[in-house]
Amino acid sequence: MYSRKRLVGLLMILTALVVLVACAGGTAPSAPSATTAPQATSAPQATTAPGATSAPSGGAVTVVHWQHDYAPRKKIVEELINDFKAQNPNITIEFQSIPYNDFFQKLGPSLEAGTGPDVFQIPGPLVREFYERGQLAPVPDSVYTSADIEKDFVPWTVQLLKQDGKYVGLPTDVQSFMIFYNDDLFKEAGLDPTKDLETYDDFTAAAVKLTKRDGDQITQAGIDISHNTYQLFWPMISTLSDKGIVDENTLKVTYDNDQGYAAWQWLTDLVTKHKVDSPEFLAKQQPFELGKAAMDAHEFVEAGNLKEVAPNIHFSVHLPPHAPGRPKGTGGTHWAYVVSSKSKNPAAAWQWVKFLTSDAADRKWTAGRSELPSRTALYDDPQLKADPIVAQALEIAKVTHPFDDFGWDDVYNIQQAIWDNIVLKNQDVKTAVHEAAVAEEKLYQDKKLKPAAQ
Amino acid sequence: MQLSLSPSQRRALWAYVFLAPAIIFFIVLFVIPVLRALQYSFYDWPLGVPQKTFIGLENYRRLFMDDPVFLISIWNTIRFTVGSLVPTLVLALGVALILNQGLKALGLFRTIYFIPVVSSLVAVGFVWRWLLEPSFGIVNYLLRLIHIKGPGWLVSPEWALPGVMLMTIWRDLGFYMVIFLAGLQTIPREFNEAAMVDGANAWQRFWKITLPLLNPTIVFAAVIGVINGLQVFTSIYVMTGGPGDLPGGPLNSTRPIVLHIVEAAFRSQNMGYASAAAFVLFVMILFFALIQIRIIERPFEY
Amino acid sequence: MGRSDKMATISKPTTARIPAARTLRIPKGVAHIPLYIILIAGAILMLLPFAWMISASFKTLAEALQVPPQWLPSTLSLRNYQEVFNQQPLFGRFFLNSVIVAVVTVISVLITSSLAGYAFAKFNFPGKNLLFVFFLSTMMIPFQVRMVPLFVMVSDWHLTDTYAGLILPGLVEAFGIFLMRQFITSIPNDLIDAARIDGASEPRIVVQILLPLLRPALSALAIFTLIGNWEAFLWPLLITNAEEMRTLPIGLALFAGRYIERVDLEMAAATIAILPMVVVFFLLQKRFIEGITLSGLKG
């Protein structure tokens, strides 16, 4: 029958099983937890006092580096790690490559658990909110002074990285937006693909000429604008005002006015009035790469992609048209390498970041047409200029303004809604733009951003 | 030493023994984290930052009063769940019934219907984005053959969610088919045999015998379907996202609640707000699931 | 929830066998044709996307993005499959990790679900309904919410980059408990009551009576658990830093980048990932066909 002993024994076995399973070590050894450095001289909290951050003498230090996964970049990082190790034998870099789409889902919990990286990447526009949340450690002067940073790097690539008078990031993955012309289709339509289409009107006229139709159905889009429209509206609004898209002090947008309405009117007219493209034409595909669109707005990296994806397309890169009364220019984005305020070795981490953005490294980064140089010196580099596309792109990069909204996909959502509301829902331009302006300003309030103290 | 327990008390104790591992597991790995998440929801709690500010019900207030997109996402999620689950269950039951007839090559057919369930959503998402492409994709091509102008699917605010529903029905059918198959298998054969002897035709047999006896299985499928449906995320993410694309579009027409949660938690690093949204979702799911069990679960009648 | 116990009052108490339901007695050939047609039409719909997927796995990236889509690849080269392993040299290891985690999880879930499901279906005890709702509710919190506190907890236990850390959250599934409860509910009570009267202990009842009857349900649960596990992405992503501890879905996600999606490689990797699941399903589902045979049991 049921003796107490049997029941108790059973319960004990069950509990033991659960405990065993819970604590069983796997067959793989646990990876050493990040940043255990006995002799590091680092302050654990946010802003590190200058004196305390000299590089540790003797004693091995580990710096954990998280990067988005992208095969060519992964290789470059691995090479750079080896080079760095040769020069800094007491610093070991632990490198982890994380799928791009899931980067933040891994970063957040790890920061919370204290197992996060020392060095990671964030988009330039997000630096401000990360900094104001206290998540970033600034560059110590012992590693890189502000004066030197401003001397070495192209101004628009570090503009967003200065917070409270200190630099909290160094640039990487520099991309200017440019218009790609399909040279063959241009020539076919009697247009000259070597010249930039400078005014809104010229651009529209050319786009109309480059559009082909079969009855009602588009067979060739003058410009692929309805897919990833941000690639043209970001540069468009970035160049409307000298203050950029957002005034960093008042946190008010600069496009909620006649000039902004006119710009958006031009953009949306391409589809609603002149029908040079349709949202339903090769939706969510890449018409330019398929040779079905004569123009495409894109980040510079597309120049590298095209080699792989559509090697038969002859293309050239150009500035987008500018608003009446505005100088030539375009917008651009970049990411930043930053150091976590929870890092136990911020000085070593920044040493690594400095290396990652050095001249030698920048040469590697820019070699495969995957990004533009962040360092001024490389803009005159003959090796880079030997590639005609890169030479064109460098000229474009010189007149680039940073996409300076203080957000990334959240502002993208708001601004994309302008396009969608006008094109898909027939809303009038002024209402759509104004609603977005209100939403964007509210977003900054919700993020509790503080006006810049420059 | 003997315990002087009545047989029913003894049995109750055995029940607890059987339940013990699960109870311990859920308390440690569920209750504790969930309570912590509940705690988060009353704070302004950026991840990894030492300062966390108590703000009481502010997150909840903001969700309902100040965040129209959240309310839209609730509506989308409900629409999605009903719109994909109902056709899926009906079709899955149909297929299960057919496959239960003792036809040839059953194993092959069952496997084929099941393959979509186990395929990688990333890959499936890519293929379906193609299938639903308005100008060249197969779906609109077929519609054109019968003189219907297909909609813009994933780029149309009205048709994007139905597009995702289509993919979901295609994918989940095999899942529920397996459940219904197992359920059909546990129905004693002689019920149907006796009915046949009594002269009942296939239709009557289905309604009077099979369906009622399948009730626990149907309840299960429906409840699981609702629980999973309301938590939809990856399907919508892969179908509406993609290089350069924003998931949840166009114009928030496909945005599900969980996307809102994920973005708040990990992009904006507003863990408090995200947890509040999650608890709203939890209450919703609990409500719908319990109602379903109450309404659908029926006693057997003989 | 004890209402379904009314099943105990069915007629025909003389037989305790519960074989698979078979319903057709009319001439098979004729009646089956429309069914076959429907099945085949459905099968084509089910397989269409995979036809494309497999075909794309043999194409170059440019070919794969062709418009209008070509169904047949120009060459049948395995270059993409090789390139998957080139770009992700540990792909095979990802595969192995997924297998290890899946197997252990399935075993644990089958055991815990059967026991707990049995308790809910055939026992009465205080707090039963409350406990059931509690278990059910564990399925209702999206993982992303539990994720951060859970991760902090498990990291504190130093289980990062271990198989234990990977497996832990999956050991018990409320889904499985619910499933088993529903199936066990359909088992007539007299079977169990008879065994109890005969003096069998509860563990014995579970092993000798319940388990054989539950084969279809267990197979189904094994399959579901396997799927859930095979596809699990978030938790393995969080809990593993070392590349060699990663699982298959993470490997797959690495082909969907920011500016460009390597569709050709994605399709090859996806084809590799799906094969074991298909094989397992094909093997396991024969158990459905075999049905439940309970020779030797008396009512």
**Neighbors of chain A with 3 or more C-beta pairs under 8 Å:** B, C
Q: Note the Cα B294 to chain centre separation in Å.
A: 18
Class of the CATH domain delimited by A177-332+408-446 = alpha beta
- Looking at chain A, the whole-number percentage of residues with pLDDT higher than 90 is 71
Q: Is A8's pLDDT higher than 50? A: no
In a domain, B25, yes or no: no
pLDDT of residue C4: 36
- Cβ neighbours of A180 (radius 10 Å): 26
Please state which CATH number belongs to domain A59-175+334-389.
3.40.190.10
CB contact under 8 A, A112 and B24: no
Query: Where is average pLDDT lowest: A4-13, B55-64, C255-264?
Result: A4-13
In a domain, B147, yes or no: yes
Find the closest chain A residue to C202 by CA distance. A2
CA dihedral over C111, C112, C113, C118, signed as positive or negative = positive
A230 chain-B contacts, CB cut-off 8 A: 244
CB contact under 8 A, B266 and A134: no
- Cβ neighbours of C159 (radius 10 Å): 22
Does residue A413 or residue C285 have the better pLDDT?
A: A413
Banded model confidence at residue C282, pLDDT cuts 50, 70, 90: confident
Q: Is C1's pLDDT higher than 50? A: no
Q: Provide the number of structural domains found in chain C.
A: 1
CATH number where C280 lies: 1.10.3720.10
**H-type alpha helices, chain C:** 28-56, 61-64, 79-87, 91-122, 128-137, 143-156, 163-167, 174-185, 189-197, 202-205, 211-213, 215-231, 234-239, 248-253, 263-284, 286-290
Average pLDDT for A332-339: 96
In a domain, B130, yes or no: yes
pLDDT of residue C26: 57
In a domain, B270, yes or no: yes
Q: Tell me the CA distances in angstroms from B166 to A93, A280, B131, B134, one per residue in order.
A: 47, 19, 11, 15
pLDDT of residue C286: 64
pLDDT tens, position by position, C108-118: 999 999 999 99
Q: Is A351's pLDDT higher than 50? A: yes
**Residue A409 near chain B (CB below 8 Å):** yes
C220 chain-B contacts, CB cut-off 8 A: 178-179, 181-182
Interface of C with B in 242-261 (CB under 8 A): 249, 252-253, 255-261
**Residue B220 near chain A (CB below 8 Å):** no
Cα–Cα distance for residue pair C99/C110, rounded to 1 Å: 16
pLDDT of residue C18: 43
Residue type (1 letter), A332: G
**Residue B74 near chain C (CB below 8 Å):** no
CATH number where B228 lies: 1.10.3720.10
Cα–Cα distance for residue pair A219/A212, rounded to 1 Å: 6
pLDDT tens, position by position, A268-321: 999 999 999 999 998 888 899 989 999 999 999 999 889 888 889 999 999 999
Q: Is A16's pLDDT higher than 70? A: no
Q: Are B283 and B275 in contact (CB under 8 A)?
A: no
C236 to chain A, closest Cα gap in Å: 10
What is the average pLDDT score of chain C?
79
Strands B53-54 and B43-44: antiparallel
pLDDT tens, position by position, A49-70: 333 334 445 578 999 999 988 8
pTM of this prediction?
0.84
Q: A107, A115, A278, A284: best mutation site toward chain B, by most B Cβ within 10 Å? A: A284
Residue type (1 letter), B132: L
CA angle A331, A336, A338 (to 5 degrees): 160
pLDDT tens, position by position, C17-28: 444 445 545 565
C171 chain-A contacts, CB cut-off 8 A: 21
CB contact under 8 A, C148 and A96: no
pLDDT tens, position by position, A143-164: 999 999 999 999 999 999 999 9
In a domain, B58, yes or no: no
What is the average pLDDT score of chain B?
87
Considering only CB atoms, B111 lies closest to which of C137, C185, C281, namely C281
Interface of C with B in 72-91 (CB under 8 A): none
Considering only CB atoms, A108 lies closest to which of B5, B17, B265, namely B265
CB contact under 8 A, A70 and C258: yes
3-class secondary structure, B137: coil
**Residue B188 near chain C (CB below 8 Å):** yes
Average pLDDT for C238-256: 85
**Neighbors of chain C with 3 or more C-beta pairs under 8 Å:** A, B
Domain housing B210: 65-296
Find the closest chain B residue to A413 by CA distance. B246
In a domain, B190, yes or no: yes
In a domain, C68, yes or no: no
Does residue A183 or residue C60 have the better pLDDT?
A: A183
Does residue C21 or residue A29 have the better pLDDT?
A: C21
Query: Where is average pLDDT lowest: B133-142, C54-63, C88-97?
Result: C54-63
Cα–Cα distance for residue pair A40/A281, rounded to 1 Å: 58
Q: Is A2's pLDDT higher than 60? A: no
Average pLDDT for A212-225: 92
Does residue B200 or residue A91 have the better pLDDT?
A: A91
- Classify residue B180 as left (phi > 0), alpha (psi -120 to 50) or beta: alpha
Find the closest chain B residue to C57 by CA distance. B123
Banded model confidence at residue C190, pLDDT cuts 50, 70, 90: confident
What are the b/e assignments for B106-144, b being 16+ CB within 10 Å? bbebbbbbbbbbbbbbbbbbbbbbbbbbbbbbbbbeeee
pLDDT of residue A415: 95
Q: B47, B52, B132, B156: best mutation site toward chain A, by most A Cβ within 10 Å? A: B47
Banded model confidence at residue B298, pLDDT cuts 50, 70, 90: low
For residue C111, count CB atoms less than 10 angstroms from its CB and return exposed for 0-12, middle for 13-18, buried for 19 or more: middle
Q: Is C135's pLDDT higher than 60? A: yes
What is the average pLDDT score of chain A?
86
- Range(s) of chain A covered by CATH 3.40.190.10: 59-175+334-389, 177-332+408-446
Q: Provide the number of structural domains found in chain B.
A: 1
- Classify residue B41 as left (phi > 0), alpha (psi -120 to 50) or beta: alpha
Instruction: Please name every residue paired with A98 in a beta bridge, in sequence order, or none if there are none.
Output: A68
CB contact under 8 A, C10 and B184: no
Does residue A3 or residue A158 have the better pLDDT?
A: A158
**H-type alpha helices, B198-233:** 202-205, 211-213, 215-230
Average pLDDT for A351-366: 94
CB contact under 8 A, A111 and B47: yes
Q: Is C72's pLDDT higher than 90? A: no
pLDDT tens, position by position, B154-178: 999 999 999 999 999 999 999 899 8
pLDDT of residue C25: 54
In a domain, B216, yes or no: yes
Q: Is C273's pLDDT higher than 80? A: yes
Average pLDDT for C43-60: 87
Residue A288 has what DSSP assignment?
Answer: T
In a domain, C70, yes or no: no
pLDDT of residue B3: 62
pLDDT of residue B52: 85
Query: Where is average pLDDT lowest: A21-25, B238-242, C27-31?
Result: A21-25
pLDDT of residue B292: 86
Considering only CB atoms, B107 lies closest to which of C133, C175, C286, namely C286
Cα–Cα distance for residue pair A410/A422, rounded to 1 Å: 19
Query: Where is average pLDDT lowest: A32-41, A162-171, C178-187?
Result: A32-41
Cα–Cα distance for residue pair A177/B12, rounded to 1 Å: 70
Does residue B200 or residue A376 have the better pLDDT?
A: A376
pLDDT of residue A111: 87
C227 chain-B contacts, CB cut-off 8 A: 117-118, 175
CA angle C167, C170, C176 (to 5 degrees): 145
Domain housing C221: 3-8+78-290
CB contact under 8 A, B152 and A279: yes
Average pLDDT for C265-270: 84
pLDDT of residue A5: 45
Q: Is A419's pLDDT higher than 70? A: yes
pLDDT tens, position by position, B60-103: 999 999 999 999 999 999 999 999 999 999 999 999 988 887 77
C217 chain-B contacts, CB cut-off 8 A: 182, 186
Average pLDDT for A352-376: 93
For residue A444, count CB atoms less than 10 angstroms from its CB and return exposed for 0-12, middle for 13-18, buried for 19 or more: buried
pLDDT tens, position by position, B23-52: 999 999 999 999 999 999 999 888 877 778
Query: Where is average pLDDT lowest: A242-256, A378-392, C273-287?
Result: C273-287
pLDDT tens, position by position, A86-115: 999 999 999 998 988 888 889 988 988 888
pLDDT of residue C27: 61
A218 to chain B, closest Cα gap in Å: 9
pLDDT tens, position by position, A230-242: 999 999 999 999 9
Q: Is A15's pLDDT higher than 80? A: no
